[in-house]
Amino acid sequence: MIGRIEFDIAHALSASVLLLSFALLYQRRVSGVIEAFALQAVAVAAAAAWQAFTQDAPHLYITALIALLFKAMVIPIALSRIVRKLGMHKTIETVLGVNLALLAGVGLVALSILLVFPATSVAAVLTRENLALALSIVLLGLLMMITRRNAVTQVIGFMSLENGLVLAAVGVKGMPLVVEMSIAFSVLIAFLVFGMFIFRIRERFDTLDLQYLEAFRGDHQSERS
Amino acid sequence: MTGAIVAIVLQLAQLGLVLVLAPAATGLVRLVKARLLGRRGPPLVQPYRDLAKLLRKEAVMADNASWVYRVTPYIVFALLWLAAALVPTFTTRLPFSPAADLIALVALLGSARFLQALAGMDVGTSFGGIGSSREMMIATLAEPAVLMVIFTISLFIHSTSIPSIAEFVLGSEVGIRVSFLLALISLTMVAIAETGRIPIDNPATHLELTMVHEAMVLEYSGRHLALIEAAGMLRLLFYLSLIAGIFVPWGLAESGAGPAIAIGVAAYVAKTVGGSILLGVFEVSIAKMRVFRVAEFLGGALLLGLLGAIFLYVSTGT
Amino acid sequence: MLTAILVATAALVVLGPIGVARGRAAANLVHFGSIAATSVVLGHAVWFLFDGTPTTLTLPFGLPWLAAHFRIDALSAWFLSVISLVGLTAAIYGFGYIRHVDEPGRVLPFFPLFLAAMNLVLIADDAFTFLLSWECMSLASWFLVVANHRQPDNARAALVYLVMAVIGTSCLLLAFGIMAGFEGAYSFADMRAAPVTGRLGGLAVALVVIGAGSKAGLVPLHAWLPLAHPAAPSHISALMSGVMTKVAIYGLVRVMFDLAGDLGWGWGAVLLVLGGASAVLGILYALMQNDLKVLLAYSTVENVGIIVIGLGLALVFKANGLVGLAALAQVAALLHVLNHALFKSLLFFGSGCVLSATGERDMERLGGLIHRMPRTAFLFLVGSAAISALPPFNGFASEWLTFQAILNAPVLPQWVLKFGVPVVGALLALAAALAAACFVRAFGITFLGRPRSDAAAQAAEVEPAMWGAMAVLAACCLVLGVLPTAAIVPLNAVVRDLLGSPFPALSSGVAVHDFLFLAPLEPGRSSYSGLLVLAVVALVTWVVARCAHRLASPQVRRGPPWDCGFPDPQPATQYTASSFAQPIRRVYGTLIFRARERVDMPEPGDSRPARFAVHLIDPAWEAFYAPIERGVAAATARANVLQFLTIRRYLSPVFAALIALLCIVVLAK
């Protein structure tokens, strides 16, 4: 069994990842969202490194490194370049008010704790908490994707969702590296796809607000005419 | 018997200490802000001089001001002085502490706010109304957040009496408690809002449409204004000592012995200085926000309070 | 004791017809009689609380096979004292106020009848007597609502009230029918002995929550309340808001804690949700109102919500076997019953004073009354501070106890409650802060500032009987805020009856320390002392005032207001009730009420006035009341046909009903 202080630090790191998820929901500016996401990636990397240290599992250091390199540096830098290039420093259009989104977020956290705790009462305490936190981060990422209209923030929502998955994976002892690698690469690919997507939308419609796209979907044809 | 006398002496000493220290804390915040902005800034004694100057001047009142306007400064000052004197600053052995626990203290501040808002509306000017209306709106946002902080603390310590909270924190092992950290941030955000600091309100302006507290007390002058200003300084010190007493109680004297008291006073002064400097740095590094963004700011405080309580459930795992 | 209370109630019933007579003498007789009768009831009820054993009495009234049962126990005695205390002050107030009522003949007969009916509900010990008294209470208050029938709004209010009262009573009728079972055990003693369990029992409790909850004004069944309560004359509004809602709470407590046996924690959770929603929505509605009496009526919804939160907590703790905490929560709820009765009546009396002095209820046309009506203003201020839960007044004592009960929620085993109760706590804190904002607005706009109309500028102080009654209530508010234990000691008997456990701090007798400090669980854990707070604040204020006058410059000069150098003498430049509420409307209202502001600003050079309109939608009205209203309108249009039938056609539905009932009897056997 791990000691008290190890537990506290692991707990604090996971909690800061969750808090940064909330920070993502709270931010209104695209640049702010990107910064918060980079911070979250750093926190995930730290959490993975700490798990590698306490579990004595060196392969987790690689996970931490991937998170640090790609998610905390490459992707945010690339994204802010795109943002700057396209000149969209404006406030993000939200579907739900910020306060409502935050409250919904707290509700989701409570929900995931309610879900995980009774289901895994025999599991080790730390795993159980990590699982609850990871599930909330995943749900918050989804929430962000549905409450934001901007394509860039949707990409970030997706990637913060993936941060939750990584957090869940590193918390469980003996998770093979392959799984994490595949997750990491799938996200990278997703990022590339989204990046292409963003450029194409921009080229065509001069905006990244996805609301404008909805008018071009097939099922809306009748409404337009 | 001697124990009781010592306790009462300590209580009176605390009454005196907060009154003496309150203007200095405000002065220090102003000084830090000025230095960071590249100005020399007023000396630390300037708030004392200002209060003395105001007390010497005659009070000018509007023709239609009623008794509500006249009694408010005295009662508000008394309420805040009492509140600041009930928080353990240098010792936990205060005989009056059982008179008001954390919830009652917050409510005492609520009473002061209620009267001040009424006094703002008494003369019937537009500025007074705008200040009162916004002050009450901010209070409605702050109060649920405070309750969540209290809930988090009481979930852990099973008490809402501040001396016993401080003693519990003093007696427990040092550890990183996420929920306490969240509660601390949440309480700090509330304190910033309630004391009318940047980014919620600007304590330095009189002529700006976004002002809140200064608009409410715009009509006051002379000794009335001195008391209102002193009450505002006491409010700042109250929140500084509250945060220090709950989250960093180290140094508090748990007995009435002389050396312990001396350490307690020194630690308290150090904490107040540290808190004031931090507040000054924070105020300089942030911009004033629009009034309706306050809802998001304090909504964030409520959220942190809620998360703090949830985390405590998670980490105790019961 | 029970006999004395019954006799006093009978005297009230007799006083009713006297009120029909015209002239001052009849009015005086009604009010003196009511004062005497309520004093007798109050004295006996309080006596019972300190030293009494439950007594029953059977009178040969009512149905042939069912005599009328009456019983007094600690719970009824508590509510009887609340009602008689407020009834007493209302009668005193009535002396002065009745002179300002247009048609006193429409008010006087029903005032004592209303009081009598409420007394009877509280001492009824069988379903039939209970329902009969309940219906009498509804009808008496209905007649009082239509007393002022010449105003078009009041007719609609009366209609909605009547419909809701009928729906509520029929729910209770069904509920008691279920609880009595097929054997027809209509006396409460039989129900208590053999509570109906299972799904049928749950249905009965649900019906009681709907029936009593609609009378008490719980969201979403509240919408009739702010229409009906303000329509009555002000001292009747005080009785309806301050006391009749409490009779409904009594019904709720009687069934859920006494007659229905052990309910699960789920019902507690239902009460917590309803209470939390009522507390926040009620006060938010109140903040949006410009009519002083409507504002007070909406604030009743909030306070009923606070009481129901306390009851829900008590039920939740009781279901988990934590009787000590249940006792704490229930004491908090029942103490708030008394406190709300006191300050809400005080405030309605105050609004009656304003109404009789100025003829205005609209705050936008009031202002500056503190100079013209200093006594009313001071007493109204005391009521406002008490209802805003500010120490050292009584509202804070009961809300503080409720918070203490909420802070103990983590010991509950259910996860939903562990998370849910703190959220309810946050809602309660929000409601308290909104209440403070609401009453700063109510007092500030009505009494402070400059008069906004000639009527407000010409107002004069009211008769001594009116402010005297208010002074009694204000004194009670302060005394109970400073010494809440004085009310908790008698309440101890109530919770020991209902929960089998005393208030935790009083489990080993009452000591002087308990009067000084309110420490519900253990000393040193959480405590509050209104007496100390009041004493120290008063002392410090006095010392500071003396010092300031001695040492500082004591001079005062009067001049025009400063207002940043641009004082405008027109009263229209002041903040209005609508503008005061604007920040809160913007933060909370856009979501809940779909509040929309429309500003019509003319172009420069255009001479037409600018216009500003706020549009609010009450979601509860849309969802629940509008369909009922439409349904009733359609049904009455349909039923109108019945007026023009032949005798044969009249008889056939009666015959059909008879046959149907007989069939049911056959099938049941």
Answer yes or no: is pLDDT of B216 > 80. yes
Which of A5, A110, A128 faces B310 most closely, judged by CB atoms? A110
State whether residue B270 sits within 8 Å of chain C by CB: no
How far apart CA A136 and CA A112 sit, in angstroms, is 6
> Which of the other chains make 3 or more beta carbon contacts under 8 angstroms with chain C?
A, B
* Per-residue tokens: A155: 């990409």
- Number of Cβ atoms within 10 Å of the Cβ of A142: 16
Give residue limits of the domains in chain A.
4-224
Reply yes or no on whether the pLDDT at A168 is more than 50.
yes
The pLDDT value recorded for residue A220 is: 46
What's the whole-model pTM score? 0.91
Helices (H), chain B: 2-36, 46-56, 67-86, 102-122, 126-157, 162-171, 178-194, 213-216, 222-247, 258-284, 294-316
| Confidence grade of residue A107 (pLDDT, cut at 50, 70, 90) | confident
Looking at residue C294, its pLDDT comes to: 94
Q: State which of C166-175, C568-577, C581-590, C607-616 shows the largest mean pLDDT.
A: C166-175
pLDDT average, residue stretch C552-572: 84
Mean pLDDT of the B211-217 span = 86
Q: Counting every residue, how long is chain B?
A: 318
Average pLDDT taken over every residue of chain C = 89
B:41-100 residues touching chain C, CB 8 A cutoff: 55-68, 71, 74-75, 77-79, 81-82, 96, 98-100
* Mean pLDDT, range C139-143, rounded to an integer: 92
Q: Which of B173-182, C30-39, C146-155, C194-203 has the lowest mean pLDDT?
A: B173-182
Distances (CA, A) of B98 to A102, C181, C400: 37, 52, 14
**Helix, strand, coil % over all residues of chain A, rounded to 5:** 80, 5, 15
CB contact under 8 A, A11 and B295: no
Q: Tell me whether strands B59-62 and C55-59 are parallel, antiparallel or unpaired.
A: unpaired
Q: Which chain A residue is nearest to residue C416, measuring alpha carbons?
A: A114
Lowest mean pLDDT among B284-288, C171-175, C397-401: B284-288
Contact map slice: B 148-177 vs A, CB within 8 A: 173, 175-177
The 3-state DSSP class for residue B251 equals coil
Q: What is the pLDDT of residue A104?
A: 86
The per-residue pLDDT for B296 is 85
Instruction: Tell me which chains share at least 3 CB pairs under 8 Å with chain A.
Output: B, C
Per-residue model confidence (pLDDT) at position C247: 96
pLDDT tier, A1 (very low <50, low <70, confident <90, very high otherwise) = very low
Check residue A216 and give its pLDDT: 55
pLDDT at residue C454 above 50?
Answer: yes
Q: What is the pLDDT of residue B76?
A: 96
Tens of pLDDT along B141-195?
999 999 999 998 888 888 888 888 888 888 876 565 778 888 999 999 999 999 9
Most confident region among B54-58, C249-253, C571-575 by mean pLDDT: C249-253
Over range C361-377, report the average pLDDT. 93
- Contact check, Cβ <8 Å, C419/A100: no
Contact C494, C74 (CB under 8 A): yes
Share of residues in chain B with pLDDT > 70 (%)? 95
* Residue range C474-501: mean pLDDT, rounded: 92
The answer to whether residues C532 and B99 touch, using CB atoms and an 8 Å cutoff, is yes
Asked if pLDDT for residue A2 goes beyond 50, the answer is no
Q: Give A31 or C316, the one with higher predicted confidence.
A: C316
> Is residue B144 within 8 angstroms of chain A, CB to CB?
no
Q: Which band of pLDDT confidence, cut at 50, 70 and 90, is reported for residue A192?
A: low
Question: At A12, is the pLDDT very low, low, confident or very high (cuts 50, 70, 90)?
Answer: confident
Q: Do C440 and B155 touch (CB under 8 A)?
A: no
Mutation to test the B interface, candidates C313, C578, C587, most B Cβ within 10 Å: C587
- pLDDT of residue C612 exceeding 90: no
Give exposure, C594-626, as e/b (b: 16+ Cβ within 10 Å). Answer: ebeeeeeeeeeeeeeeeeeebeeebebeeebbe
pLDDT at A201: 66
Cβ of A12 within 8 Å of Cβ of B295? The answer is no
Inter-chain CB proximity C419 and A97 less than 8 Å: no
Q: What is the mean pLDDT of chain B?
A: 88
Instruction: With CA atoms as reference, report the closest residue to C379 among C355, C357, C351.
Output: C351
How far apart CA B34 and CA B37 sit, in angstroms, is 5
Give the mean model confidence (pLDDT) for residues C365-386.
94
Residue C605 backbone class (left: φ over 0; alpha: ψ -120 to 50; beta: rest): left
Residues 6+ apart with CB under 8 A from C587: B137, B140, B141, B292, B295
- Determine the average pLDDT of the residues in C51-74: 84
The whole-number average pLDDT for the span C50-58 is 88
Cis peptide leading into residue C64 (ω within 30°): no
Task: Kindly tell me the burial class for residue C245, based on how many C-beta atoms sit within 10 Å of its own C-beta (0-12, 13-18, 19 or more).
Answer: buried
Q: Min CA distance, B162 vs chain C (Å)?
A: 9
Q: What is residue A92's DSSP assignment? A: P
The residue ranking higher by pLDDT, C326 or C666, is C326
Mean pLDDT is lowest, of B274-288, C15-29, C101-115, C490-504, for: C15-29
CA–CA gap between residue C420 and residue C256 (Å, rounded) = 21
Residue A224 has pLDDT above 50, yes or no: no
Q: Do B317 and A106 touch (CB under 8 A)?
A: no
Q: What is the mean pLDDT of residues B14-39?
A: 94
Give whichever of A62-66, B306-310, C147-151, C216-220 has the largest mean pLDDT: C216-220
B-chain residues within 8 Å CB-CB of C427?
Answer: 144
Mutation target among B71, B77, B137 for the C interface, most CBs of C within 10 A: B137
Nearest alpha carbon to residue A19 among A35, A43, A3, A52: A43
Query: Which amino acid, residue B303?
Result: L
> Helix H segments across C448-559?
454-457, 464-482, 485-499, 512-516, 530-551
Asked if the model's pLDDT at residue C199 lies above 80, the reply is yes
Compute and round to an integer the Cα radius of gyration of chain C. Answer: 26
Percent of chain C with pLDDT over 90: 55
Least Cα separation, residue B178 to chain A (angstroms): 6
Cβ pair C553:B144 closer than 8 A:
no
pLDDT tens for each residue of C276-317: 999 999 999 999 999 999 999 999 999 999 999 999 999 999
Contacts of A26 in chain B (CB under 8 A): 296, 300
In this prediction, residue C79 carries a pLDDT of 96
* pLDDT, position B172: 74
Report helix, strand or coil for A91. strand
Between residues A63 and C35, the one the model is more confident about: C35
Per DSSP, B290 falls in state P
Q: Is the pLDDT of residue A145 over 70?
A: yes
Report how far apart, in Å, the C-alpha atoms of A91 and of each of A31, A211, B288, C387, C638 are. Answer: 9, 15, 18, 42, 57
Nearest CA in chain A to C592: A100
Is the pLDDT higher at A149 or at C383? C383
Length of chain A: 225
- In whole angstroms, what is the distance from residue B34 CA to residue B54 CA? 23
Residues in A closer than 8 angstroms to C416, CB to CB, are: 114
- The alpha carbon of C43 is separated from its chain's Cα centroid by a whole number of angstroms, namely 22
Q: Is C591 buried (19+), middle (13-18) or exposed (0-12) by CB count in 10 A?
A: exposed
Residues of chain B in contact with residue C562, where contact means CB-CB under 8 angstroms, are: 60, 62, 125, 218-219, 221
Separation between Cα atoms, residue C378 and residue C370, nearest integer Å:
8
Residues of B in contact with A103 (CB under 8 A): 299, 303
In chain A, residues with a C-beta closer than 8 Å to the C-beta of B182 are 15, 19
Chain B residues 205-244 with a CB less than 8 Å from chain C: 206-207, 218-219, 221-223, 226-227
CB contact under 8 A, A97 and C591: yes
Residues of A in CB contact (< 8 Å) with B are: 4-5, 8-9, 11-12, 15, 18-19, 22, 26, 98-99, 102-103, 105-106, 109-110, 113, 125, 128-129, 132-133
Q: How far is CA C510 from CA C77, C154, C398, in A?
A: 21, 50, 19
How would DSSP label each residue in C63-103?
STT-PEEEEE-HHHHHHHHHHHHHHHHHHHHHHHHGGG-S-
Percentage of chain C exceeding pLDDT 70: 98
Domain boundaries, chain C: 619-668
- With a CB-CB cutoff of 8 Å, which residues 49-78 of chain A face chain C? none
Buried/exposed C326-360: b ≥16 CB within 10 Å, e otherwise = bbbbbbbbbbbbbbbbbbbbbbbbbbbbbbbbbeb
Listed in sequence order, the DSSP H helices in C320-452 are 323-358, 369-372, 374-387, 394-407, 415-447
Helix H or strand E segment including C576: none
Which among A97, A110, A118 has the least Cβ separation from residue C419? A110
Residue A219 scores a pLDDT above 60: no
Selection from C200, C192, C218 nearest residue C71 by Cα: C192
Chain-centroid distance, C-alpha C510: 30
What's residue A199's pLDDT?
65
What local confidence, expressed as pLDDT, does residue B318 receive? 41
| ipTM greater than cut 0.90 | yes
Q: Which of C491, C429, C466, C62 is nearest to C238 (CA)?
A: C466
| Angle value at C-alpha C608, between C604 and C613, nearest 5 degrees | 100
pLDDT for C187 equals 87
The answer on pLDDT for C669 being more than 70 is no
Tell me whether B313 touches chain A (CB under 8 Å). yes
At residue C59, the 3 state secondary structure works out as: strand
Percent of chain A with pLDDT over 70: 66
Strand partners, A150: A209
Q: How many CB pairs under 8 A join A and C?
A: 10
What sign does the dihedral B246-B252-B253-B258 (CA atoms) show?
negative
Query: What is the pLDDT confidence band of residue C94, given thresholds at 50, 70 and 90?
Result: very high
Q: Quote the DSSP letter at residue C599.
A: E
